[in-house]
Amino acid sequence: MRRFWLIFAQATTIALGVVFAVRMLAPQWLERSAGAPGQTAVLQLLQAAPGPAAAPAAGSYSGAAQKAMPAVVSVTTTRAPKPGRGSLSGRFFGGSDARAPTVGLGSGVIVSPTGYVLTNNHVIEGAEEIEVKLADGREAAAQVVGRDPDTDLAVLKIKLRDLPTLAFGDETKARVGDVVLAIGYPFGVGQTVTQGIVSALGRTQLGINTFENFIQTDAAINPGNSGGALVDVNGNLLGINTAIFSRSGGSLGIGFAVPASTARNVLQQLVQSGHVVRGWIGVEPQDISPQLAQALSLPVADGVIVAAVLRHGPADRAGMRAGDVVLDVAGQAVRNTGQLLNAVAALKPGSATAVRILRQGHEQQLRVKIGTRPQGPAMLRDEESGSAGSGAP
């Protein structure tokens, strides 16, 4: 009996030693043997199966970015070399040669599955060749459908299938403080997304375009972003990034975008006719300053005064005179020349519109038949007054 007990004790000790050694040196052997028959494969399958995709973290705008990014493209232009023999540094010190073609970089937004691309006019102006590159790597030569220098917009056409597009948003519902994303190709480093807020709405009189109604944002916009997209948190197009205020050439947090409604109107007209038709009344406006109001004894401290009227123009035929103060056009109040330009340009040529004015302290309402804004730089010239202006409504 004692001998049997000794053998049992020795066997138990050896077995425990083996288990301890296996657990220390090859624990996976024990894991594989655990569980009922057939259970091991199920456990392994569950462990190998990927989990559900993680939801965007709170405060993330990845959804809006992923929606918009495929439709934002890179625009590369090639311009003819400038006339001349080239700079001294170009010929002897390895600098740029003025005789070499100039390559420009910008951005664009695909807004139609048929291949229409919105960009800035200054991006493609003077270009002999234009190449568009999509985020998915595809490339295509682009043709210019039309240009509108007055809003610094242009429309290109590319021929590719299965194009991603970006839907127009409604910038009239935007509010200062709303989060926005700027998407483009700055400095040629590749597609880049920056985030900021709407800093201001309806910016005018910046001297950038003839017609200005900019969305201002602090989202970083740099060289190469021109023509790219400003989108809301739902990934819809709020505007076309156009310009920045900068002393160094880089972003200082003050950028401007042409609103989506303006871009859509320009797009439709350029596609239909190749040019944009705008209303015109033939006056030279001037902002009223407090000093001017005091000097002329005007009862208003701000607004728009008519400095000159084009002879036989729409305003002249309606009875408007130099010195009249324009209060509103078609019921829309105007407080500066930018607002007057935009209000008149939005009117349909040939239509008759009420214009309320202030003359010698008394309000009057004139009925003006809207004309068509002339094409080209010289929009208004009154030979008697000698005044002229390319921004005249």
d(CA 328, CA 340): 8
Region 83-88: mean pLDDT is 47
pLDDT band per the 50, 70, 90 thresholds, residue 95 = very low
Q: Report whether 192 contacts 244 (CB < 8 A).
A: no
Rounded to the nearest 5°, which phi and psi values hold at 198?
-75, 115
Q: Report whether 244 contacts 221 (CB < 8 A).
A: yes
Given this model, what pLDDT does residue 353 score? 92
Given this model, what pLDDT does residue 287 score? 86
**Tokens (6 digits) for 78:** 């090639």
- Rounded to two decimals, what is the model's pTM? 0.71
Measured CA to CA in angstroms, residue 174 lies from 38, 206, 348 at distances of 60, 21, 27
Among 284, 318, 279, 321, CA closest to 304:
284
Domain residue ranges in the chain: 62-82+100-157, 171-273, 279-389
CA dihedral 343, 348, 354, 357 (to 10 degrees): 40
User: What CATH number has the domain spanning 171-273?
Assistant: 2.40.10.10
308-339 burial, b for 16+ CB within 10 Å, e for fewer? Answer: bbbeebbbbbbebeebbbbbbbbeeebbbbbb
Could you give the residue numbers annotated as active site?
Answer: 122, 152, 226
Task: Name the 3-class secondary structure at 79.
Answer: strand
The predicted-structure confidence for 108-164, as pLDDT tens digits, reads as follows 999 999 999 999 999 999 899 999 999 999 999 999 999 999 999 999 999 999 999
Tell me: pLDDT of 383 over 60: no
Given this model, what pLDDT does residue 90 score? 33
Given this model, what pLDDT does residue 265 score? 92
The predicted-structure confidence for 317-369, as pLDDT tens digits, reads as follows 999 999 889 988 988 888 888 888 888 988 999 999 999 998 888 889 999 99
d(CA 187, CA 104): 10
Same CATH topology for 62-82+100-157 and 279-389: the answer is no
Stronger pLDDT, 28 or 211, i.e. the higher one:
211
pLDDT band per the 50, 70, 90 thresholds, residue 60 = confident
Dihedral sign, Cα of residue 241, residue 378, residue 317, residue 327: positive
Given this model, what pLDDT does residue 202 score? 86
Given this model, what pLDDT does residue 84 score? 55
CB within 8 Å of 381: residues ≥ 6 apart: 310, 387, 388
Give first-to-last CA distance, the chain, whole Å.
121
Stronger pLDDT, 77 or 360, i.e. the higher one:
77
Exposed / middle / buried, residue 257 (Cβ in 10 Å: 0-12, 13-18, 19+): buried
Q: Which fold would CATH assign to domain 279-389?
A: Pdz3 Domain (2.30.42)
Q: Which CATH number fits domain 62-82+100-157: 1.10.150.120, 3.40.1080.10, 3.10.20.310, 2.40.10.10?
A: 2.40.10.10
Mean pLDDT over each residue of the chain, to the nearest integer: 80
Among 142, 144, 147, 136, CA closest to 158:
142
Query: How many C-beta neighbours within 10 Å does residue 351 have?
Result: 11
CB within 8 Å of 237: residues ≥ 6 apart: 68, 109, 111, 166, 167, 168, 169, 229, 230, 231, 260, 263
Most confident of 201-210, 317-326, 368-377: 317-326
pLDDT band per the 50, 70, 90 thresholds, residue 261 = very high
Stronger pLDDT, 82 or 63, i.e. the higher one:
63
